[in-house]
Structure formats: structure tokens, C-alpha cells
Amino acid sequence: MGTTDTKHSRLVVLVFLLLLSCCAAAEIPRQTKPAKLQAQGGAPTRVVTRPPPKPTSDETQAKSAPTRRLQNARIDAIDSNHVSITITDCPALPRKYYPCNGDVMTLAVAPDLRPELNHFKNGDHLQIDTDGKNALSLAIRTLEVDSRTRLLVLVISLAGFFALATLLTWGRPFKLIEGLDHRYSNSQFQIAIWFWVVMATYLAVVYLRVAQAGWEFFGFVSIPQNLLLLSGMSALTFGTARAITTTKTNAAQAGGKANSKPDGKPNIWTDLVKNDTGDVDIGDFQMLVVTLLAVGMYLALIYHFLGAIEARASVDLPDVDSTILASFGLGQGAYLTKKAVGNVGTS
């Protein structure tokens, strides 16, 4: 009996230990990855991997929105605070003579682009990069003109006005610069050639604006300040010189001096640098040189100006610099002074 009880006790203890081991194993959590030990041999640390955060709806839309360039966008309105701009997407070059009737859109303008809006106004045509809601870049639409076309348009414009003068004077256009003594007048030559050049260049600018950008840009070409002053001085010199000559001639005739300003034969090569007695005159020479210099400089300015036609609602003709303006004024002042103090028939 003692031996049998001892065997039963051992069997019970063995079964108990087996059940205890199974319970302990069931309580240990199952791990999919082995734990990593610290570098110093400390307690193991569990590595947790988190998924990246989802982008917001605005970020997703900004990244997915395509960027496109509007080659010809007309400004319809600019917000008073320059925070937005309303434009019309106009047809491309093959339809440049048709009205601008594309899609209308209002775009937000970033703070760094708002200062550029000071250079634009309603009716200007721009190149705009946009994502559909924002203006990403702004630039005036510029159309290049090759040198041959520029030169051809200028020559035709100058020739056209000369032909008009020839037609209106019945084939005698140089009669426009003859004075009272039938010699060529320096003041009349100056106002005639300056009027010819300014009007011809105006026509050239108007034509190329229409030819390159469309009928929407017909006209709206202004005269800048210095060019306006120079044109005004030219007209004033002509009127003043004519008044001085007429007054002195009438006074001489009233005093019994007949034919105080004798008639001469017109000669374009001598009349513009010589006085009434046939002597070379510094006043006439200076006025002629300054006039030709101003005309040549202005034609060069116009030639380069026409190389890039900007699609602006209105533009100014190229302005002359202050040096040309001052020289022009000095030459005319010397010419009028000579006329005023000289005797009739000699100055």
C-alpha cells in the first residue's frame, strides 16, 4: 500500500506540473516580431511603425491641379486691392482678327505678384500661368517683328505721306517749305519734315499693332511729353518766324522801301544754310543740323521700338531724350533771335 500510494502521489504531482506549464504558456502574448534589445543590454523595446498622415483636401487639389499657360488673356478687371484679376481667354494667333470671346475666369493673385499689377490696366493682353484658380505668373504679351518688316513698314509710311503731300499740292510738294521770297524757309522745312516723320511713325505703329495683335489694338497711340514739346516748339518757331518777317516787310514797304525782301530762286542745297544775301549763316546752319539730328535719332528709336509690339490697350510713341529737346530749343532760339534783330532782306 505504501508503495502504491507513493506512485499515485508522483503521478498526481506530474500531472499538476504539466497543467501548470500549459496555463503559463497560454498567458504569454503571441508576438509576430522578435523584440530588439537595447545597445547596453537593457530591457527589450517594441518597434511601432505608423502609417504616413493623409494629405488634406487642399494639398491634394493643389498637387493634382494641372498648370497651363494662357498665351493671350485680356484683362477685364483688376481688384482694387490687387488680390484678384478677371480675364478672358482670347483666341490664339490664327484668329487674331476675331473678337476676344473665350472663357472668362477670376484668378487669385499671390502677394508677390501684386506689385506687377501696377504696370497693367484693363484691356491689356497677358501671358498667364494658372492652375485654374490662381495666377502663378503674369507677363505682358509681346509680339516680335523682324527687321525687314519694320524697315518696310517705315519706308512705306514715309513714302505714303510724301505721296499724299504731292497729290494735295498738284505735284509740287516742295512748295510747302517755300517762304515769302520763294526761297526755301528753314522754319517751314523744320515743321514740315518733323510733321512728316511723326505722322508716318504714328501710322507705322498703328498698322503693326493691328497686324500683330488684332483690330482690338487699332489706335490708342499717344504722344509722350518731350515729343509733344518738340513738336510744339517746331510749330511755334514757324509761326514766330513768319510773323517777324511779315511785320518787318510791311514796315519797310510803309517806309517807302519797295521789294525789301527780294525774290530768289529756290535751291534746297543752299537756302537752308544761307541768309537772304547768300552768305552762310550760323543760325540757319545750327537749326538745320539740330533738326536733321532729331529726325535721325527719332527714326532710329522708332525702328527699335517696332521690334517688339506689346499688346497693351494704349501705348506711347518713343520719347526723345532731354539732350535732343534742349538742343532743338537752343537752335530755334538762335534762329528766332537772328530773325528778330536782323534787317529785312539780309537775315
Domains in the chain, CATH or no CATH each: 65-140 (2.40.50), 147-341 (no CATH)
Cβ atoms of residues 306 and 153 within 8 Å: yes
Q: Strand 125-130 and strand 68-78: pairing?
A: antiparallel
The amino acid at residue 244 is: I
Q: How far is CA 267 from CA 169, 174, 184, 210, 284, in A?
A: 19, 10, 7, 41, 14
Q: What are the DSSP calls for 103-144, one per residue?
A: -EEEEEE-TTTGGGGGG--TT-EEEEEESSSEEEEEEE-EEE
**DSSP state, 321?**
P
Q: Measured between alpha carbons, how far is 296 from 318 in angstroms, rounded to an integer? A: 13
Average pLDDT value for residue range 21-38:
46
Q: pTM value?
A: 0.74
Band of residue 142 on the pLDDT scale cut at 50, 70, 90? very high
Asked which of 45-54, 176-185, 294-303, 321-330 is least confident by mean pLDDT, the reply is 45-54
User: Nearest 5 degrees, angle CA 296-CA 142-CA 160?
Assistant: 40
Query: How many whole angstroms separate alpha carbon 158 and alpha carbon 199?
Result: 9
Q: Taking all residues of the chain, what is their mean pLDDT, rounded to a whole number?
A: 80
C-alpha cell belonging to residue 177: 517749305
pLDDT at 39: 43
pLDDT of 95 > 80? The answer is no
What pLDDT, on the 0 to 100 scale, is given for residue 134?
93
Q: What is the pLDDT of residue 338?
A: 78
Contacts of 29 by beta carbon, 8 Å cutoff, 6+ apart? none
Is the predicted pLDDT of residue 307 greater than 90, yes or no?
A: yes
H or E element: which one contains 75? strand 68-78
| Tens digits of residue pLDDT in 191-232 | 999 999 999 999 999 999 999 888 889 989 999 988 888 888
Question: Worst-scoring range by mean pLDDT, 69-78, 260-269, 282-291?
Answer: 260-269
The predicted pLDDT at position 101 comes to: 78
Cell matching residue 164: 499724299
What is the rounded distance in angstroms from the CA atom of residue 153 to the CA atom of residue 159? 10
Q: Mind listing the pLDDT tens digit for each residue in 162-176? A: 999 999 999 999 999
pLDDT of residue 88: 93
